[in-house]
Amino acid sequence: MKLLLAYFSATGNTAQIANTVKEQLTELNVEIDEFNMTSYSDRQKNINLDPYDAVIFGFPVYDNRAPRLAREWLQTLNGKGKKCATFFTYGGIRVHPSHYSTRQILEKQNFEVVSSAEFLGAHTFNLAGWEAMENRPAPSDFDVAREYALKTYKKFINKDSRRLGELEKGMLNEEQLDELENSKFKIIKQFPTRDGKECSMCRTCEEQCPTQAMNAEEGSANKDDCIVCLRCVANCPDKVLKINDLSKIFKMLLQRDNTTKELLAKKTSKIYL
Ligand SMILES: Cc1cc2nc3c(=O)[nH]c(=O)nc-3n(C[C@H](O)[C@H](O)[C@H](O)COP(=O)(O)O)c2cc1C
Ligand code: SF4
Ligand code: SF4
């Protein structure tokens, strides 16, 4: 069996889970190719799925779904009836309906989804004052990733494997989810910027930006293209890129969900079969 492991990871959580899944499958002598679709140029490549028996897709949760650019990329694929599995990393706020909505897309593209999983990861907006799921993924999350790899592989090789069960639809319809996706742009007052500071002009921010939104020379992001993934902020070696402080919004979310950061941290990674 030959597998493709395709994932998007702006700040590394999803990549860490993908690595663990790959390690576990390699131990079983499964042949596995990796496609990291984070960079803009890699997403322009045509992916030929013909050599693969099955595919594993991994994405961060952005506003309760896979990121829009990932959803659009999935819509370019033809599954030709192949089995696939999905997994998501999220910052502990909300994960549903990521599994459900991505399954809908994959089934339309003629894939059969056999399993899914969710893993906790430090929230990207911790780079802007949040304190959600710090130090995750942790060893307990990686244990679940290994179990997910084993159980998914069993479903890939077993012709009569049970269909993936019902997934949570969440409370919002697609239109409301689109609105939510756009609403973050109202709270970001300052997209990643160097704010006039000097830097070593290494151009990492520009080269690694998944949407070509960052201009290293100007030290600022183009608002129309920036998806606020904060890859540039996380990876700037001089630590000079910033966005506005979002800590008040984190406190509001904790109040809305009647929770605390300590209670959030008790959440555990999960597998759906
Ligand atoms: C634009 C954006 C939206 C996000 N939306 C959610 C969300 O709806 N629920 C949640 O729990 N975490 C959310 N997160 C946090 C990420 O899902 C989480 O940090 C993820 O592990 C990041 O993966 P990566 O490090 O592979 O990029 C969001 C992050 C970003 C940048
Ligand atoms: S990554 Fe940081 S140091 Fe490098 S060019 Fe961008 S702002 Fe400057
Ligand atoms: S400019 Fe925007 S899209 Fe590009 S890496 Fe930075 S936050 Fe992400």
The residue-averaged pLDDT of 173-196 equals 88
What's the CATH number where 49 sits? Answer: 3.40.50.360
Query: Are residues 234 and 152 part of one domain?
Result: no
Query: Are residues 38 and 144 part of one domain?
Result: yes
In this structure, what are the phi and psi dihedrals at residue 153, rounded to the nearest 5 degrees?
Answer: -60, -40
Residue 24: inside a domain: yes
Question: 12: helix, coil or strand?
Answer: coil
Ligand 2 site, residue 214, Cβ cutoff 6 A: no
Query: Are residues 183 and 84 part of one domain?
Result: no
Ligand 3 site, residue 56, Cβ cutoff 6 A: no
Residue 19: inside a domain: yes
User: Mean pLDDT, the chain, as a whole number?
Assistant: 96
Nearest residue to 131 via CA among 167, 88, 83, 93: 93
Query: Are residues 165 and 72 part of one domain?
Result: yes
- Amino acid found at 43: R
Residue 261: inside a domain: no
Query: Are residues 161 and 114 part of one domain?
Result: yes
Query: Are residues 44 and 27 part of one domain?
Result: yes
Q: Which residue is associated with the tokens 């996380």?
A: 234
Residue 21: inside a domain: yes
Give pTM, 2 decimals: 0.97
**CB contact burial 44-78 (16+ within 10 A = b; e otherwise):** eeebebeebebbbbbbbbbbbbbbebbbebbeebe
> What's the rounded Cα separation, in Å, for the pair 224 and 16?
29
Query: Are residues 150 and 186 part of one domain?
Result: no
108 CA distance to ligand 1 middle (Å):
25
Residue 188: inside a domain: yes
What's the CATH number where 191 sits? Answer: 3.30.70
> What's the rounded Cα separation, in Å, for the pair 141 and 145?
6
124 CA distance to ligand 3 middle (Å):
12
Assess whether pLDDT exceeds 90 at residue 199.
Answer: yes
Residue 109: inside a domain: yes
Q: Which atom of ligand 1 is nearest to the CA of 123?
A: 19
Query: Are residues 136 and 196 part of one domain?
Result: no
- E strand or H helix at 7: strand 2-7
Model confidence pLDDT, tens digit, residues 213-227: 999 999 999 999 999
Ligand nearest to the CA of 134: 1
Query: Are residues 188 and 141 part of one domain?
Result: no
Ligand 2 site, residue 24, Cβ cutoff 6 A: no
Model confidence pLDDT, tens digit, residues 129-167: 999 999 999 999 999 999 999 999 999 999 888 889 999
Measure Cα distances from 205 to 2, 194, 230 in Å: 34, 11, 10
What is the pLDDT, as a whole number, of residue 183? 84
194 CA distance to ligand 2 middle (Å):
8
Ligand 3 site, residue 60, Cβ cutoff 6 A: no
In this structure, what are the phi and psi dihedrals at residue 87, rounded to the nearest 5 degrees?
Answer: -150, 155
Residue 180: inside a domain: yes
- Amino acid found at 61: V
Query: Are residues 198 and 140 part of one domain?
Result: no
What is the pLDDT, as a whole number, of residue 159? 86
Q: Which residue is associated with the tokens 């089934």?
A: 107
What is the pLDDT, as a whole number, of residue 196? 83
Query: Are residues 50 and 165 part of one domain?
Result: yes
Ligand 2 site, residue 252, Cβ cutoff 6 A: no
Contact in structure between 88 and 158 (CB atoms under 8 Å) = no
Query: Are residues 178 and 167 part of one domain?
Result: no
Residue 178: inside a domain: yes
Nearest residue to 9 via CA among 64, 61, 78: 61
Residue 225: domain span: 174-256
Q: Which atom of ligand 3 is nearest to the CA of 241?
A: 6
Ligand 3 site, residue 243, Cβ cutoff 6 A: no
Measure Cα distances from 105 to 65, 74, 209 in Å: 11, 7, 25
Measure Cα distances from 170 to 6, 54, 99 in Å: 25, 27, 10
Domain count, the chain: 2
**CB contact burial 195-227 (16+ within 10 A = b; e otherwise):** eeeebeeeebbbebbbbebbebeebbbeeeebb
The residue-averaged pLDDT of 25-40 equals 96
